[in-house]
Structure 1
Amino acid sequence: MRHALEDTLDTMKYTLLLLAAAGNALPLTEYTGMFVSIPEGALHLKTLHHVFQGPGPKLSHKPFGFAGQATGGSTNLSAVYVVSNAAELREAVALPYTKTIYVNGTIQGNQLPNGTLATCQDYIDKTGSPGSAVHGFNFETYLLSLNATYVALVEQAIADNTTFEGRNATEYRALLGHQNGYRPVVAATQKAQVGFKLTNNTSLIGLNGNAALNGINLYLSSVDNIWIRNLKLVPPQDCFPAPETFPSSWNALYDAVGLVTASNVWVDNCELQDQLSGEYVEPDIIEPGWQVDRFDGLFDCEDGTDNVTFSHNIVRNHHKSLLLGGGTKEADRDLGKMHFTIFGNYFNGSASRNPTMRFGSFDIFSNIYEARNDKPPRFNDAGQAHRREALDSTPLDAVFQYHLGVYNQSRVQVQDNGFLQYGAFANDTSRIFTISEAILPNRPAKVCIRETAPHFPSTMNGAAIASLGQVMADTVDFFVESGGAVEGAVVLTCDGFGGYELPKVFEGPGDVLEYVLSEAGQVR
């Protein structure tokens, strides 16, 4: 029998190899999955019962920008954890001390303790006690309960003392009446399963290009000093979203990553998308024609979140991707905070919010934006070569809307970005920006467009945009004239904007494209 001390020394050696590989791409020898912690000097050994073999990620980037002070989790021997399933991930992220967590393979957010994958019906069946009335919830029935015409037909059947579609009309009307109350109850069951809360001073890192969190909502609430790196991040599909506007506006619950009053957060070398394949997920079609979108944002931040760098990521095939800042009601919590660096990212097929920016300071530097633009120009379309294509195959919520959303009292700095477009209006620049809630000329949003040396004009399909500043000015005029903003509520100026050292200095737009395509996304 091996001595316990020998086991401990072996574990420490394996951990040293793991840490070395994570920083220098050295090969990992067989790893037993043990986790060592030393609370108050006493040795505690925990086994995760899996084996990992292979190289660790070669991650060369360092934190910079507004999250430049983020140090992430400890790499001490006592604070390294490798996780391969949902139970291990949940246990690891909850540990209340500084730690580094490596993700090995794909972790399924809907994986139950017995290893099976939960369905939407499972969340209903597992809510409450056996025989609970809430088990009568059904999503299609819920939608029917919101249809006044349909409910009126049921009530007429009651008045006529007849059945309705072969059912007791009185009992069915009561069931319809309970659906709206049942929905948040069963939704809470799913939330408890797919939500994973991070604690302070945590690094969450994928071991390789196969590392993924599939159907997981990473929730960062009132936490500080977080790294999220080298992961494919797929948000959960909400089984029980609430409709807003017929036929395709929905209030789904889950983001891939959600920040609430979080600070010093660095998200780097990740891929955020609706499914592992990266393909767009078509909405479900439910009578009488609802297009049910079961996704919310990919990276949403609110309630005074501060000092965040979102860098070298791929944002792929989603309809409302990055929402930075809450609504007007949250202004008091956001003002003076909400500092974001958005650098070196590849937005590929993201229909809107790339990002949307409210009540904070946002540096949008050296990103590549690729989209299919089939919507007519909003302005400046004289001489535009319009090429109409069939649009029927594009779901309503996947149609490209805009890239950069400027909201109340935001401070937005833009430089060295490249735009690639195809579709009916491939060269249109009128949807690069949008303006919203710009109604306070005494506290205007400020936008700084840097396009003179040492910077260079942003490009559209490889050609320099004559003046992105003029595009922004035209956007402001368009929204003022159409009533979407008031005069003076958005000001173009670079006064008061600062800078900091970036990881790369570019000599031209071709360098930006080459860099982003090389550096964005998971390290393979």
Structure 2
Amino acid sequence: MSTFVWHGHAILRAASLTGCTALVLALAGTGAQAHSPSHHHRDPARQTLGAGDGWASHGTGTTGGAAADREHVYTVRTWAEFKKALADGGDAPKIIKVRGTIDAVAEGCEAFAAPGYDFGAYLEAYAPETWGLEQDLSAEPDDSPEGLRRASAAAQDTAIKANVPSHTTIIGVGRNAGIKGASLQIKGVDNVIIRNLTLESPLDCFPQWDPTDGDKGNWNSEYDTAVVYGSTHVWLDHNTFTDGEHPDSEAPTHFGMLYQQHDGELDIVRGADHVTASWNVFTEHDKTILIGNSDSESTAAGDRGKLRATFHHNLFSGLVERAPRVRFGQVDVYNNHFVAEAGYSYSLGIGKESQLVAEHNAFTLAKGIGPAKILKRWNDAPLTARHNLVNGRPTDLIAAHNAELPGTPLRSGAGWTPTLRTAVHPAWAVPALVKHGAGAGRIG
């Protein structure tokens, strides 16, 4: 064994794969500050985000419902109980403990269908060979197949969206707690914690066909698993975001295009600010995380100087893209493990006026996937990418991108230096550490 000194800690580095367990145990001890909140409590539901733990610790910090009185502590087992608990007590601090798996669509998509809606009739009416690809469906009357689809979609929208109020902690109890088929709306609020939940992406029961989207038309879906919209101080920790029982690989095609029924796993948009996502698993998804939803100047006015987020000790595995895609925000991405498999497009998207810092991350790329694909330039914006490993080797991600894609060069130097970090681990240790610590079922 050899000794690696990192931020004042002596870490035993295994000389071979047989030392992996020792390495993880050593890092788990020295990295306790990164793995757990600094404000310990017997009840994990009252734990708060530690000082200096990412952007959500900035200013007033993030305490969620830690100050809740007994009357505002709920244990829920059904979707109805969950929504009732969210609505009870307004913005008074509250803790919602989730036991087991709550299904927001337990009765199936049929429960939302408007009278007369028929998917077969929809396909027949808007097939490209009869409808064409030049006229959209927005002018279709209410009694048309598209009008009935709209009514059905509106019913689902009302049913599966859950508005999370300020000063709220939502936490899974034990190893098997989760919510499936729901869209958590963290909208226009402050001080929210979501922990220890398996969150299965909502399935859009009624995607819209848009003939004018691209050269061949496309299916567009709604409902992010969680959306942080104009909210501040949000901490998402030890959750598992997944498509679960409905992966895109099993979705059918209609009109020659994938019948896409998923949107994002996590969106941070519309002036949202001060977000920390730590020790989560993001898996089995296409458009994973979007930070800033538009390049338009009207949107930019509310996003500039905001959209500040930290991602650390997360696993990004089996994804296609957006891990995350960034506009405007100062986003710190460190100590994450990215695993790229078949179907991979890119991990980190460089968007309009973004200031991304990506350091001390590990990338595991399947055969045939090169490091040039890790970064994707959507707009010309500088970034910092240092001390990252690709398949165990130190790699300059910007240089790799520019060497293979000289027509869309990336510029180095994000223009800021992150200071809100807990223990920073060397990139070689990240895969094992994240494997043993990230995701739901680890706390509570």
Same-fold status (TM-score > 0.5): yes
| Structure 2: stretches of 5+ with no match in the other structure | 1-39, 133-139
| Corresponding letter in the other structure for 1:449 | A
Contact 2:49–2:62 (Cα < 8 Å) also in 1: no
2:391 matched to which residue of 1?
461
248-257 vs 63-72, greater mean Cα deviation = 248-257
Indicate yes or no: 2:183 matched with 1:217.
Answer: yes
- 1:361-397, CA deviations, whole angstroms, 9 ceiling, x for partnerless residues? 1111111000115xxxxxxxxxxxxxxxxxxxxxxxx
Partners in 2 of 1:79 and 1:122 — Cα distance? 31
Pairwise mapping of residues 24-63 of structure 1 onto structure 2 (< 5 A)?
Answer: 24=42, 62=50
The correspondence for 1:79, drawn from 69, 72, 85, is 72
Partners in 1 of 2:272 and 2:403 — Cα distance? 31
What is the TM-score with the length of structure 2 in the denominator? 0.80
The correspondence for 2:112, drawn from 123, 140, 145, is 123
Change (3 A) 1:222 1:176: closer
Report the Cα offset of residue 473 of structure 1: 4.0
Partners in 2 of 1:61 and 1:199 — Cα distance? 18
Change (3 A) 1:81 1:280: same
SS in 2 for 1:136: coil
Partners in 2 of 1:264 and 1:206 — Cα distance? 20
Indicate yes or no: 2:101 matched with 1:99.
Answer: no
Q: RCO higher in 1 or 2 (8 Å CA, sep ≥ 6)?
A: 2
| Corresponding letter in the other structure for 1:502 | R
SS in 2 for 1:510: helix
Pairwise mapping of residues 368-447 of structure 1 onto structure 2 (< 5 A)?
Answer: 368-373=337-342, 399-423=343-367, 425-426=368-369, 428-438=370-380, 445-447=381-383
Report the Cα offset of residue 58 of structure 1: 11
Contact 1:324–1:357 (Cα < 8 Å) also in 2: yes
- 1:214-263, CA deviations, whole angstroms, 9 ceiling, x for partnerless residues? 11110111011000000001121001111345778432111110121111
Indicate yes or no: 2:205 matched with 1:239.
Answer: yes
- 1:77-100, CA deviations, whole angstroms, 9 ceiling, x for partnerless residues? 232111110111000112212101
SS in 2 for 1:93: helix
Partners in 2 of 1:519 and 1:274 — Cα distance? 21
| Structure 1: stretches of 5+ with no match in the other structure | 1-21, 26-55, 111-116, 128-134, 153-173, 374-398, 439-444, 451-456, 481-489
Count residues with an aligned counterpart: 384
| Corresponding letter in the other structure for 1:504 | A
Change (3 A) 1:221 1:251: same
Report the Cα offset of residue 142 of structure 1: 1.8
Contact 2:171–2:197 (Cα < 8 Å) also in 1: yes
SS in 2 for 1:82: strand
| Corresponding letter in the other structure for 2:206 | F
The correspondence for 1:471, drawn from 377, 392, 400, is 400
Identity over the aligned pairs, expressed in percent?
27
Change (3 A) 1:514 1:59: farther
Report the Cα offset of residue 338 of structure 1: 0.4
Partners in 1 of 2:46 and 2:62 — Cα distance? 19
SS in 1 for 2:373: coil
Change (3 A) 1:148 1:247: closer
SS in 2 for 1:477: coil
Contact 2:373–2:401 (Cα < 8 Å) also in 1: no
SS in 2 for 1:351: strand
- 1:11-38, CA deviations, whole angstroms, 9 ceiling, x for partnerless residues? xxxxxxxxxxx9437xxxxxxxxxxxxx
Partners in 2 of 1:148 and 1:268 — Cα distance? 44
2:33 matched to which residue of 1?
none
Partners in 2 of 1:78 and 1:223 — Cα distance? 21
Report the Cα offset of residue 282 of structure 1: 2.8
Partners in 1 of 2:268 and 2:45 — Cα distance? 27
Contact 1:252–1:296 (Cα < 8 Å) also in 2: yes
| Corresponding letter in the other structure for 1:478 | G
Look at both structures and tell me which one has the larger radius of gyration over its CA atoms: 1
Contact 1:270–1:313 (Cα < 8 Å) also in 2: yes
Pairwise mapping of residues 263-282 of structure 1 onto structure 2 (< 5 A)?
Answer: 263-275=232-244, 280-282=247-249
The correspondence for 1:300, drawn from 258, 267, 274, is 267
Contact 1:123–1:186 (Cα < 8 Å) also in 2: yes
1:521 matched to which residue of 2?
439
Partners in 1 of 2:433 and 2:147 — Cα distance? 51
1:141 matched to which residue of 2?
121
The correspondence for 2:336, drawn from 351, 364, 367, is 367
Partners in 2 of 1:202 and 1:361 — Cα distance? 25
- 1:322-371, CA deviations, whole angstroms, 9 ceiling, x for partnerless residues? 01111112211211110010111000101100000011111111110001
| Corresponding letter in the other structure for 1:260 | Y
Partners in 1 of 2:253 and 2:427 — Cα distance? 45
Indicate yes or no: 2:246 matched with 1:284.
Answer: no
